[in-house]
Structures are given as structure tokens and as C-alpha cells.
Amino acid sequence: MNKAAKTKANSMLSLPAGNVPAPGMPKKHRVGGASLDAKKARSGWLFLAPFIIGLFFIYAPVIVDSIKFSFAQVKPLRGGGFRLIPVGWENYNEALFVNPDFTRELVTGIKDLLFDVPAIVIFSLFMAVLLNQKMLGRAVFRAIFFIPVILCTGLIDKIDADNPLSNYMQNTTSSIDTGSGTDTVNAIVNATDIQWMFSSMKVGTELVTYVVNIMNNIYDIINRSGVQMLIFLAGLQSISPAIYESCDIDGASAWETFWKVTIPMVSPMILVNAIYTVIDALTSADNSVMSFITDVYNGAGGQELSSAMSWMYFLIVLGLIGIVAAVLSAFIFYQRRD
């Protein structure tokens, strides 16, 4: 073993001073190399080596480049390589104050995100509770409900979104379904007349419009809540049945058990899912702000501008994640585990 590795390992030691050889002492007595803790720490670094290499040689440079690009203009050189001309805040300035659409897209995008997150989290919790119950054909329902996780992603999402029929269909009397899922749902929603159902309850009109919007986008919401359902299902499975048994013996109704046992026990998952939903919406292909940014990217000379725009969007959403995490973590119940 070379000396450098040994000193590195020693420096990582967090053992009492007695175990570390004093500088003057001969190091001969440590025949087996470093102590167990140091060995474990070293193999920990070895296991992480691929990621650390990637971090230093790909990810960190990419992040740094992206920030640099957002403050510069890129000129490709003839012999390969490229040159950066720093332009200061010009890209940001252009995105915010010159580009006519960016601010509008940003505001609507963030508003949609804020409205979608509770809908998706509540829906996926509801579905996970249903799919966790014992019933006829549970395996089949589970198999069907997780289809969107695998099949309705990326390219397929894009094909659905680009479907030239989906706009056209709404204005015609032709009866062929576009296959984008919205038509089916619209038919159901029209048949049930939710607006009428809700207007008879004494709730504000904002809530009514919100719920009606959710119902209109239920296909979208189902598609986007697959992983969240899986996470909630895992959380529900990890609740000990003994708790439910004792509730049953004490005479608690199913409704009470849900609010007093299930909700607190899955509350860490609610936080995880809220954050996952925000991230997923942020990185998904059908995100309106992101597709706007992609359009800018594909436009002439818009690469640097798109970097600036997406950094701004990302920082805003990161701030939102922070707020959501701070608010939700006040309500989280952590089961003590020893």
C-alpha cells in the first residue's frame, strides 16, 4: 500500500486518539493496514468512485458550462472547439424584458404546477388506498394502473401531445377517437355534469372550477401519478397490521382509522410524493415552460437564451420545493424506529 493512500485513510479516521499512531512512532505494528473503520470508509469511496468521477469530469463541468453559457454568446471555431464572448446579464435581461412570451409562460407554468401537485398527491393516495384493499381482481387492477408508468412516458407522451387530431376533433362531428385519451374523459365528464353536482353544495366557485378542471384533466393526472401511487402503496404496506387490529378492537370506524392512523403513517410519503411530483412536472416533456424553452433552444441562436431561461425557471421551482418541504415537514409524523 502506498504512503499517500495510508495517510488519506488515516485522515479520514474518526477514532479515539489512541488508535492513531503518534508521528514519531514506527508504523510497523499495524500489519493489517488501516483499522476496520478506515477500511470501510475507503471501500465506501471505492463504491462511489463511478459517481465521483462522473461528478468531476462530466456533471460539474456541464453545470459550470451551462451557467457560463447563460452569461455569454457561443461562437464555434473553425478548427473545432468554441469561444465564449461574455455578455453579462444580457441573456437574462432579454428573457425577462424583451422576449414577449417568457414571463407569461413562466407565471402560468408555475400556477399550473401549484394546482397540479395537490391534485396528483391526493389522487394517488386515494388510488393507493383502494388498490391496497383486498378485493376481486386486485392484481389485474394493479397491472392496469401501472401501465402509464412504463408506457406513457417520453416519446409516447410527445406523440399524444402532437396528435394533430386532438385539436381538430373538438370542432368536428366526426366520431373517430383520436386515441389521446381526452375525448373519452370528456364524454364521461359531460355525462356526469359535475358542475351541477358541486353548485348544489355551498362551496366557493373557485373550488368548483378547480375540481372541474381536475376532472377534465383526469387522464393527464392518472398518467402522471403512477410512480406516486407505487410509493404510497409501499408506504401503506409498511404500516403494521397490528395497529389496524387494535383500532378495530377499540371500535374505531374505517373513516376514523384512515384519518388517525393511515394519514399520519404515510405523511412522510406525502412529502416525498409532493417533491417528486414537482420534479417530475419540472423535467417532463409536456411541461409548457420547458417546451417553450426547448422551442427557444431550437430557434436561431437561442441556445444561450434558453440556458438563461431554464436556470431562472429551475431556481424558482427549487425555491417552491423548499417552501413545500418546509410547510409539509411541519405536519409529518415520523414513527420512531430503533
Q: Residues 54 to 83: which contact another protein by CB under 8 A?
A: 54-66, 68-69, 74, 80-82
Does position 175 interact with another protein (CB under 8 A)? The reply is yes
Q: Which residue, 4 or 77, has its beta carbon nearer to another protein?
A: 77
The string of DSSP codes covering 8-58 is HHHHT--S-GGGSPPTTS-GGG-TT-S-HHHHHHHHHHHHHHHHHHHIIII
Given 15, 114, 147, 207, the residue binding another protein (CB under 8 A): 147
3-state secondary structure of 75: strand
Does position 161 interact with another protein (CB under 8 A)? The reply is no
Range 99-128, binding another protein (CB under 8 A) = 127
Minimum CB distance to another protein, residue 4 (Å): 17
Range 186-245, binding another protein (CB under 8 A) = 188, 218-219, 222, 230-231, 233-235, 237-238
Does position 314 interact with another protein (CB under 8 A)? The reply is yes
Minimum CB distance to another protein, residue 205 (Å): 26
Given 178, 217, 262, 277, the residue binding another protein (CB under 8 A): 178
Determine the Cα–Cα distance for residues 48 and 66; give it in Å rounded to an integer.
Answer: 25
Distance of CA 108 to the CA centre of its chain: 19
Buried b (16+ CB within 10 A) or exposed e, 42-63: eeeeeeeeeeeeeeeeeeeeee
Q: Which residue, 24 or 241, has its beta carbon nearer to another protein?
A: 241
Minimum CB distance to another protein, residue 33 (Å): 12
Determine the Cα–Cα distance for residues 220 and 222; give it in Å rounded to an integer.
Answer: 6
Q: Which residue, 25 or 153, has its beta carbon nearer to another protein?
A: 153
Determine the Cα–Cα distance for residues 290 and 316; give it in Å rounded to an integer.
Answer: 13
Determine the Cα–Cα distance for residues 73 and 71; give it in Å rounded to an integer.
Answer: 7
Given 6, 20, 73, 146, the residue binding another protein (CB under 8 A): 146
150 phi and psi angles, rounded to 5 deg: -90, -40
Given 95, 121, 215, 271, the residue binding another protein (CB under 8 A): 271
Task: Find out whether 154 and 262 touch, Cβ atoms under 8 Å.
Answer: no
